[in-house]
Amino acid sequence: MSSPLRAVLSRLVKSVAVVLAIVLLNFLLIRLAPGDPASVMAGQAGAADQQFMDQLREQFGLDKSIYEQAWIYLKGIAQGDLGFSYRQNTAVWQLIAERLPATLLLTVSAFIFALIAGVVMGAIAAMNAGRSLDFIISVVSLVFYATPLFWIGLMSILLFSVYLGWLPAFGMMTVGAGYTGWDHVLDVARHLVLPATTLGLFYMAVYARMTRASMLEVRDMDFVRTARAKGLKSGPIVRRHILRNAILPIITLAGIQAGQLVGGAILTETVFGWPGIGRLAFDALLQRDYQVLLGVFLITSVMVVIFNIITDLIYRVVDPRMGASA
């Protein structure tokens, strides 16, 4: 087995272990929580008696021991079954699958926006270090870095939807408009603008600051001096030598933050009524819909793990030193 392949494989095994651990942890945490889901359901039925609640408990396996429940759940997962939501009367997998695309659309757009805008801003700032442009960019990113995401969301709704009326404030498409084809795409895009920027701004600030710092650090490195001693123009120096090396820590960071993006998505999806799994998770949290929660957690963790593997691979491509165990 070649060594990069081996590294990727061991990475995968490790990831699976992490995912397993997460499943167990969440399962235990949630099961240990107070509140009996059967009584909620019974309550919502308008009236309830013991017989009805026992029925419910039995139906959803709530009368079994916690270990049995965990085991049943784990077995289910191994067979690709994320459980069944008794609140929504639907397979958890289906609930998540229906909402996952919306979340992916939101987070990936936010991520791409943040990464491109952030790196460009950071690079401009670093190249003008000490000048007013740098100052402006630094202040802007410091402010976005400190602004609560949900508040930016609200303020941008106020500004862009309520007062200026430029962009829709909520949802993923114009309700009842029944657009098709390009109109549909455009419609979704218009709805995407505010939530994606809101979610992305914080990370944009993070990447801008990071890029700036990283570039300034790389700028003082020996090999940059070498490049200058070669008589290179500043363009190639920045692109080939400084940026190329400065981007490495950002890739790592981006990988780590993929998971945090999902957290941000809960807030964003709440503020903008975006029909994704962040919203699903929050509703499930409030309703103690255990199965859905477990499913969402599992999926987000898997997403994080996948993101990490991807960044790992990208890193291997970008940094030749990685994966070469000489």
Partner 1 sequence: MSDPLLKIEKLTVALPSAGDRVNAVSDVSLTLDKGEILCIVGESGSGKSITASTVMGLLPSDQLKITGGSVTFDGIDLLALDENGMRKVRGARIGMIFQEPMTSLNPVMKIGRQIEEVMEAHGIAREKRQARAIELLQAVGLPEPEAIAERYPFRLSGGQRQRVMIAMALALEPDMLIADEPTTALDVTTQAQILKLIRDLQRERGMGVLFITHDFGVVADIADRVAVMQKGVVVEVGPASEVLVSPGHPYTKSLIDAVPGFREQASAGSTEAPVLKVSGLRKVYRTGGGLFAVPKEFVAVNDVSFSIARGETLGLVGESGSGKSTIGQCVMRINGIDGGKVEFNGSDIVNASGAALKAYRAQAQMVFQDPFASLNPRHKVGRSIMAGPLAHGVDTATARSRMEQLLKRVGLDASAADRYPHEFSGGQRQRIGIARALAVEPDLLVADEAVSALDVSVQAQVLDLLREIRDEFHLAMLFITHDLRVASQICDRVIVLHRGRIVEEGEVTNVFGDPQDSYTRNLLAAVPGQKWHRGEQQALPA
Partner 2 sequence: MNASLRRFLTNPKAVVGLVILMLVVLAAIFAPVIFPRNPWQMASRPFLPPFQDAKFWLGTDMLGRDILAGLAYGAQISLIVGVASTVVAVVVGVLFGAMAGYYGGFVDDALMRVTEFFQTIPTFVFALLLVAILSPSVMSIIIAIGVVSWPPVARLVRSEFASLRSRDFVKAAVVLGQSNRQIIFSQILPNTMSPVIAMASLMVASAILTEAAISFLGLGDPNMMSWGYMVGAARTVIRQAWWMSFFPGIVILLVVLALNLVGEALNDVLNPRLARKGRQ
Partner 3 sequence: QSNNAARMNVIAFPEPPTLFIGLDQNGSTQTVSGKIYESLLSYDFDFTPKPGLAESWDVSEDGLTYTFHLVKTAKWHDGEPFTADDVVFTTKEFLMEVHPRARGIFQNCETIEAVDEHTVRFTLKQPFAPFLMGFEMSTAPMIPAHLYRGTDFRTNPNNNKPIGTGPFKLAEWNRGSYIRLEKNPDYHGEGEPHLDEIIFQILPDAGARAVAIEQGQVQQAQFFDIEMFDIQRLSELGNIQLITKGYEFYAPVARIEFNTRVEPFNDKRFRQAICHALDKQLFADAIFFGLGKPATGPISNRTRFYDADVKPYDYDLEKAAALLDEMGLKPDANGVRRTVKFLRLPWGETWARFAELVQQQLALIGIKVEIEPADPASWTSKYANWEFEMTSNYPYQFGDPALGVSRFFVSSNIRKGVAYSNCTGYENPEVDALFEKGATATSDADRQAAYSAAQKILVEDVPMAWLVEVDFPTLLDKGYEDVVVSAIGVNETYRKARKA
- Tell me the CA distances in angstroms from 80 to 53, 73, 76, 269, one per residue in order: 29, 10, 6, 27
Asked if residue 171 binds partner 3 (CB under 8 A), the reply is: yes
DSSP secondary structure code for residue 84 in this structure:
E
Q: Which residues contact 227 (CB under 8 A, 6 or more apart)?
A: 236, 237, 240, 241
Phi-psi region at 18: left, alpha or beta (left = phi > 0; alpha = psi -120 to 50): alpha
Binding mask 225-244 for partner 1 (x = CB under 8 A): xxxxxxxxx--x---xx--x
- How many whole angstroms separate alpha carbon 45 and alpha carbon 288? 16
CA pair distance 136, 208, nearest whole angstrom: 12
Which of 121, 187 has the CB closer to partner 2?
Answer: 121
Cα–Cα distance, 14 to 222 (Å, whole number): 37
Which residues contact partner 2 by CB under 8 A?
18, 21-22, 25-26, 29-30, 32-34, 142-143, 145-151, 154-155, 157-158, 162, 206, 209-210, 213-214, 216-217, 249, 253, 256-257, 259-260, 262-264, 266-267, 270-271, 281-282, 285-286, 293, 296-297, 300-301, 304-305, 308
Query: Cβ 256 to partner 1, closest distance in Å?
Result: 21
Shorter beta-carbon distance to partner 1: residue 135 or 151:
135
Contact partner, 80, from partner 2, partner 3, partner 1, none, Cβ < 5-8 Å per class = none
- What residues line the site for partner 3 (CB under 8 A)? 34-37, 39-40, 42-50, 52-53, 59, 85, 87-90, 94-95, 98-99, 102, 157, 161, 169-178, 270-273, 275-276, 279-280, 283, 285-288
